Structures are given as C-alpha cells and as structure tokens.
Structure 1
Amino acid sequence: MAHRPARGHRCVPHTADVRIEAWAPDREGCVAEAVAALVDTFVDTASATATGSSEFRVPPAHDGDLLVGVLDEVIFRMETEGELPLGTEVHPAADGGLTVRWRTTGTDAVELVGAVPKAVSLHELRFGPAPGGWECAVTLDV
C-alpha cells in the first residue's frame, strides 16, 4: 500500500463476504479502528450524533480472540439492543483483557448502506504487530 496515515481502516474486496483492514500505532488503537471499519461497512454515521455510552470488558485472551470479542460485541449489541458505536476507546486491562468504551447511537439514527454483518469469521484472521504499529484483517459474514 502507498503511504497511509498512522491510524485508519478500509474495506477491501472479498468474494462473498466483507473484509476489513485496520491499523494503528498500538494494539488498542487497532481494535478501535476495526470497530469503526465494521460499522462503516453497513451504515452511514456522518449525520449521527451520540445519544448514549456504554462500557464492557473483554477477558484476557490471545490478541486475535480479543479483537474478535470486541467485534462480536458490536454485532450482538446491534442485534439485541439496537445500539451502534460512533466512537470507540480501548484500554488494556491489568489482567491482560481489554476495557472498551463506546459513544453510541441507535440503529434507527443511521442510514443503512450495505449488508449487515452477522458474524466475525475466524478464517484468514490476522492481528498483530507490523511495521509502524499494529494491523488486522478480518472477514465479516453477511
């Protein structure tokens, strides 16, 4: 890839599902970018405003499992509570897990622009240190 900013995300072509890539200087920033990438694949949040906030913890696990745990939580809350993150802060927990804080809005406050993800695929999951920081690539089942 040509020069890219220190932090960001993008959607990349994939045959049947949706594939996202994210990168940041640190592990937690990369997880936050992956959340933004997931949301960007199916809704337009440009005119949405945060109406709530929430926090949750992901228990200690391997880095890939931590990432999947956070992304699965986005899908779960969307399906069960009609809630989507507009902003994400991720912090390491003392026990090796993660603490995630979201500024949220309701699913009724955003415009649907793509296929809604149903699950995070473990196939070809990548997450780890890379030149310049951390990066991940994830396939979302739609």
Structure 2
Amino acid sequence: MSQPALLIRPSTEADLPAIQAIYGRAVLEGTGTFETDVPGADEMARRRTEVLSRNLPWLVATRGDELLGYAYANYFRPRLAYRFCVEDSIYLTPSAQGQGVGRLLLAELMARCEAADPLALRRRGEVDG
C-alpha cells in the first residue's frame, strides 16, 4: 500500500501542538535555535501570529494526518537597513529528515515570499541567478 502524498500548505492553529513538539525537540537536542528553554504553546502561537501579520508565510508539510515539519520566513532584523531581508527557518521530525521534505518546504517558502514581494528574491539574487 502506498503512502499518502506529501502536502505543503499554510499552517493553522490546529497545527500548533505538533509545531511546538518539533521545535521543542530542536531546542533540547539541537544547536540551531539558540534557545535553551522550550517555548510554551502561547509563545509559539504568538510567534506564528507575528509572522502571518507581516504577510509572510508559515507552512507545514503533512503526509496523511502526520505533520512532518514546518517552515516560515521572518524579517532578519528590525533595523531599517534590513527591510529587504528575510530569514527562513525549517524544522522537521526525525522521520522526515533526509527525505527531501525540507527541500520542498524551502522551495514553497521561497515561491510564496516571491509572490508576496516579487522583488525580494531578486534583490538577493536567488531568482535570477
């Protein structure tokens, strides 16, 4: 029997428990978050709301009922000189690592950032090479 197809879609509030679990593991076992304490559910919801309020994407990758990972873009720094810079963040479950899920999340994240601001990726040279 084949697996359900991988779906990349905008996140919803219902995804927050899985998002928090994935991020919590990254905080406790990884080095990329630069955090030492796992943020609570309210803090993760606040972060997601902040990203979405800036018209930036917060995506999830699912296969069937399983959330495999998430990705979002947020402004790199609050100073005016950085107004054209966004930073991507991608977090995956262990089972999704090495399966191409992160690559697909990044591709969709970049496409949605470009759709929101067509010049943004060109400024970085990502679209035109």
More strand by share: 1
Report the TM-score, using the length of structure 1 for normalisation. Answer: 0.24
Q: Which has the larger radius of gyration?
A: 2
More helix by share: 2
Report the TM-score, using the length of structure 2 for normalisation. Answer: 0.26
Q: Which has the higher contact order (CA 8 A, sep 6+)?
A: 1
